């Protein structure tokens, strides 16, 4: 029997996906920012117009980790890409190659779908993850900064009042 299985998430996995997101939020010290719930996830992941995809890792039939991703587009490459929003492996399942297997799976999807790149962000204090990503050949794009508009600022901008 193969110990590790990676599969596409289904609507009945929504509560598990939410648990993984909560675990990631705790690890990243951002649980206070988490407002996602099952209804929102079900709508945006499995509704009429899915906005993202999820793959799940199972170790010996037990949930072990997940990756949530969506397509973006590189105008410079003229091709789509995959943006990895979340990658998380349960603490008790780490060290078994599950995170790498999830990234290998995503790289395969990127190649299969004709994507020009696979990219993600990592918190600058997360040295274990940064080292892990670099060992896989990932390169930090340190000349770029992430900008984000949320909450009231997003509402003001949408109203033209920024």
Q: Which residue has the tokens 């492996």?
A: 89
- pLDDT for residue 39 is more than 70: yes
Query: What pLDDT, in 10s, does the model give residues 62-121?
Result: 999 999 999 999 999 999 999 999 999 999 999 999 999 999 999 999 999 999 999 999
How far apart are alpha carbons 34 and 73 in whole angstroms? 27
Is 133 part of the annotated catalytic residue set?
yes
Tokens for 113?
A: 């779908």
Residues 6+ apart with CB under 8 A from 32: none
How far apart are alpha carbons 120 and 138 in whole angstroms? 10
Tokens for 77?
A: 């490459």
Q: Strand 79-89 and strand 118-120: pairing?
A: parallel
Catalytic residue among 104, 133, 134, 140: 133
Query: pTM value?
Result: 0.94
Closest alpha carbon to 84 in 110, 64, 59: 110
Mean local confidence (pLDDT), 48-52: 98
DSSP class of residue 77 equals T
For domain 4-120, the CATH architecture is 3-Layer(aba) Sandwich (3.40)
Residues 6+ apart with CB under 8 A from 9: 16, 17, 45, 53, 54, 55, 56, 66
Mean local confidence (pLDDT), 28-52: 97
- pLDDT for residue 1 is more than 70: no
Query: What pLDDT, in 10s, does the model give residues 120-144?
Result: 999 999 999 999 999 999 999 999 9
Output the pLDDT for position 2.
Answer: 80
């Amino acid at each position: 029997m193969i110990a590790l299985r990676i599969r596409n998430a289904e609507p009945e996995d929504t509560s598990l996906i939410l648990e993984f997101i909560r675990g990631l939020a705790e690890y990243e010290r951002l649980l206070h920012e988490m407002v996602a719930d099952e209804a929102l996830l079900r709508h945006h992941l499995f509704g009429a117009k899915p906005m993202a995809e999820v793959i799940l890792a199972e170790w010996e039939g037990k949930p072990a980790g997940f990756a949530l991703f969506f397509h973006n587009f590189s105008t410079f490459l003229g091709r789509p890409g995959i943006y990895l929003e979340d990658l998380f492996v349960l603490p008790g399942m780490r060290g078994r190659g599950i995170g790498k297997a999830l990234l290998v799976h995503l790289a395969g999807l990127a190649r299969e779908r004709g994507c020009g790149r696979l990219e993600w962000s990592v918190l600058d204090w997360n040295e274990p993850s940064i080292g892990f990503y670099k060992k896989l050949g990932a390169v930090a794009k340190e000349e770029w900064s992430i900008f984000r508009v949320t909450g009231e600022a997003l509402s003001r901008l949408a109203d033209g009042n920024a």
